[in-house]
Structure 1
């Protein structure tokens, strides 16, 4: 029988004492609160489904929620809906308030968050008329996981409509409860359409006539060599590819490499491994004065450049980076935005098709070479 060892934490090359790391939180330190949350989330899942199966949709949901161009009041309400933080009648009953727990819109069943925002005839009609069709039948996962999965799989043009509609449903419910207004799907539809049009007008009006310049790669000074790193992560296979590109003060590609890694726990670990690979690569090439640059703020600013004790999952990798850094005459770590790290990002993506470490001298794969050429042109250097 074939067996595979699934390594969650990379062993350190340095001499370190073994430590217990609490995986569910970034600090690596256990707390009663984090333990309770882990147990609660596991209990809400159906048999045979692990909590990691839902993590990708949740991550995408939160990213898209805060990036979408809608007023903060709509996004905050959406976040409260996802976490069941609205004072529905069911939640008020849990807090032992004496209320009549019947949906104020359909008057048919208990006013829980999933009924009000998904199962109520009012919500289904309002969303259905706008092209957002809700599933029919029983749902076996928690409300938050269902909402995240449903939202990220919506067509882009429907995501704003969906968020405004849920906000409108809560607004209408409050009008019914507190002011005794009558329910009208048509009026709510008109409200959603008008709000959406007004938001589009405001967005266009607020756009500046001149495009704001994004971050740009900067060449090192003098005899210092700059190594940019990035990682391409495959969550399904638990594999990553590190891409490192080395350039001098003229933006010339001195060397580059891609390095595959197996049994990588998450994207956070993948970025840390890429940073370590950049340091090791610089040492093997004999460089004495280097700048290690990447677009992972957590790895660079909060871990490698921090003097605080680190108890996170990547602490062995961070320790290796710090130990290896002692061998240079001078070393600096720099965080930049993705736009300034595009050559390394492209290199890592191109390297995903390679199954073994691959190195290039005075060149890089076509995509990374083109990205490096654009960096040089942006600085006015000779191509």
Structure 2
């Protein structure tokens, strides 16, 4: 989608989809992201594409042939990308000098002291929590998650299973979601539900498995995520202190069949559920059909 008109049905003149923006549970300051990529990360390729579509240049508001030639020659030069980007920034007066930062009102106060204070506070809080729980019985589980998404209704379902160290199912759960923007967001919502389930069960240590490599990688990171699911990743990262130990791991889809079936059945039936020590009858029957179609070799 590039224009608001892309969201309008030309025949009925009605909105054919919603702009679905997930919101973080915790309040945070605004920050800048790169709009040329869904990941929010800058790349030379995306900058060049935006430049070709742009109608603004450093000197005036009309793209002229010589400017296109200049940038085309720049990107075709066999020099390190870092130098290309620097030249590009200079041509647009984007070098972050104090003068430019002041003009753009991007100067920020020194936050190192504030960061140290906040870090010390949270480290102290975590240490007190660990000391308080050191006599508690340690519980360690694995949580698998997967999502099923319907793009026509913008609805998704989360499938979750919790197993103990012996492989026994402790909990199976499905949750329905509405106003979900994409399958990418559906996986992130489900990852967040997996973390919340662990918290609600009072788990001290857990290993969480999902088959979306991108979502798992973002959950593993401690840096601020700037992608379209950044607010959901932020909520996942904010929940980590509730556990003494927590890890996120990628697993192939072939090893994640049960939770996929849980999510698929929930979306089909339009009903979520929570079940201790087992799975629903519908899920059990579907798993049996899958085993019959894929016999052991």
Structure 1 and Structure 2 fold alike (TM over 0.5): yes
Q: Note if 1:336 corresponds to 2:255.
A: no
Residue equivalent to 2:229: 314
Does structure 1 conserve the Cα–Cα contact (< 8 Å) formed by 2:159 and 2:175?
yes
Matches within 5 A, 1:227-242: 227-242=143-158
1:365 shift after superposition: 2.2
Residue equivalent to 2:203: 287
1:236 shift after superposition: 1.6
Q: Note if 1:257 corresponds to 2:173.
A: yes
Paired residues, number = 190
Q: Which has the larger radius of gyration?
A: 1
Q: Give, in whole Å, the separation in 2 of the partners of 1:345 and 1:360.
A: 16
Residue equivalent to 1:26: 38
Q: Give, in whole Å, the separation in 2 of the partners of 1:320 and 1:304.
A: 10
Residue aligned with 2:181, SS: coil
Q: Give, in whole Å, the separation in 1 of the partners of 2:233 and 2:256.
A: 21
Measured at CA, do residues 37 and 300 of structure 1 come closer, stay the same or move farther in structure 2, by a change above 3 Å? farther
Q: Give, in whole Å, the separation in 2 of the partners of 1:7 and 1:317.
A: 16
Q: Give, in whole Å, the separation in 1 of the partners of 2:176 and 2:228.
A: 19
1:284 shift after superposition: 1.1
Does structure 2 conserve the Cα–Cα contact (< 8 Å) formed by 1:21 and 1:313?
no
Q: Which of 189, 194, 201 is the equivalent residue of 1:278?
A: 194
Matches within 5 A, 1:90-109: none
Q: Give, in whole Å, the separation in 1 of the partners of 2:216 and 2:195.
A: 13
Residue equivalent to 2:25: 13
Q: TM-score, normalised by structure 2?
A: 0.56
- Would you tell me which structure has more strand in proportion to its own residues? 2
Q: Give, in whole Å, the separation in 2 of the partners of 1:20 and 1:239.
A: 29
Residue equivalent to 1:245: 161
Matches within 5 A, 1:33-182: 33-35=48-50
Measured at CA, do residues 283 and 8 of structure 1 come closer, stay the same or move farther in structure 2, by a change above 3 Å? same
Q: Which runs of 5+ in 1 are unaligned?
A: 40-221, 376-383
RMSD over aligned Cα atoms? 3.0
Does structure 2 conserve the Cα–Cα contact (< 8 Å) formed by 1:7 and 1:264?
no
Measured at CA, do residues 290 and 276 of structure 1 come closer, stay the same or move farther in structure 2, by a change above 3 Å? same
Residue equivalent to 2:7: none
Residue equivalent to 1:268: 184
Q: Give, in whole Å, the separation in 2 of the partners of 1:233 and 1:21.
A: 27
